Amino acid sequence: MHKNSRSLWEFANPKRFVSIANKLIPWLTICTVLSMSVGIFWGVFFTPNDYRQGAAVKIIYIHVPSAFLAINIYIMMLIASVIWLIRRHHVSLLAAKAAAPIGLTMTLVAILTGAIWGKPIWGTYWAWDPRMTSFAILLMFYIGYISIWSAMEYNEKVGDLSALLCIIGSIFALLSRYAVIFWNQGLHQGASMSLDKEENISNVFYLPLLVCLLGFVSLFFTLLLIRTRTEIRIKRTTSLLRMN
């Protein structure tokens, strides 16, 4: 490759990644704090109550972004794992490893906020509805992925195994999801902010929700960069210790 040609793979260099992460983390933190506080304050205090759900509707500002992240973090882990298997960039593998606990937390937050909302509105904390079941399935595959990392020491072999487990997990999570949907159409309402639908939630709720979503996404990136940086440093330290 030509020396001056720039490509995306430059960022796979751990040293470069850490220096960029160091520069980005303060800005991302500011962005997270600003957009999350603005979004949640706007949503909770300056929007009307829903005419049927009352004030309970306001949990949407945490529920929807965390559910959005829970699914997309798994997809991000899948992509990072595939990149690791093909191009063998350690940063990619470490990013997948770092993202898993964040994804697990987001899944739990989505399930918990859904349960809190569900009690007054549906009259139950939990039902085996397809959407909720798919979150339970997602939770299991996150736990499986994290457990393989927690059980074994870091090396390339475990990296390969975890990446393969992530791919297998996504295949079977999808299969299980559609197996559940086949038998049960469910209780949960459709997507709140899909791009291709005629009917979404009204603009009054939509705009603060968008700000909250931005806040959660930048929260994810902040945490991801910090955690990946930590993982890179742990890896360096352990290999230094092994040398001596």
DSSP code, position 167: H
Q: How far is the CB of 172 from other proteins (least distance, A)?
A: 4
CA–CA separation, 244 vs 239, rounded Å?
Answer: 9
Q: In what helix (H) or strand (E) does residue 226 lie, and over which residues does it extend?
A: helix 203-243
- Going by C-alpha positions, the residue among 171, 182, 50, 67 that lies closest to residue 120 is 50
> Which CB sits closer to other proteins, 78 or 207?
78
Q: How far is the CB of 212 from other proteins (least distance, A)?
A: 31
> Which CB sits closer to other proteins, 164 or 204?
164
Instruction: Report in angstroms the alpha-carbon separations of 215 from 34, 157, 191, 209.
Output: 8, 36, 19, 10
Assigned token pair, 232: 């890179």
Half-sphere exposure of residue 61: CA atoms within 13 angstroms, side-chain side: 24
Q: In what helix (H) or strand (E) does residue 85 lie, and over which residues does it extend?
A: helix 60-87
Q: How far is the CB of 177 from other proteins (least distance, A)?
A: 9
> Which CB sits closer to other proteins, 149 or 220?
149
> Which CB sits closer to other proteins, 118 or 169?
169
Q: How far is the CB of 231 from other proteins (least distance, A)?
A: 21
> Which CB sits closer to other proteins, 36 or 137?
137
Q: How far is the CB of 194 from other proteins (least distance, A)?
A: 26
CA–CA separation, 18 vs 24, rounded Å?
Answer: 10
Q: How far is the CB of 155 from other proteins (least distance, A)?
A: 11
Show Cβ contacts of residue 117 under 8 Å, excluding neighbours closer than 6 positions. Answer: 56, 59, 60, 63
Helical residues (DSSP H) of 88-194, grouped into ranges: 90-122, 130-151, 156-183
Cβ–Cβ under 8 Å, residues 71 and 78: no
Q: How far is the CB of 224 from other proteins (least distance, A)?
A: 23
> Which CB sits closer to other proteins, 30 or 86?
86
> Which CB sits closer to other proteins, 81 or 228?
81
CA–CA separation, 56 vs 54, rounded Å?
Answer: 5
Residues of this chain that interact with other proteins (CB under 8 A) are 137, 140-141, 143-145, 147-148, 151-152, 157, 160-161, 164-165, 168-169, 171-173, 175-176, 178-180, 182-183
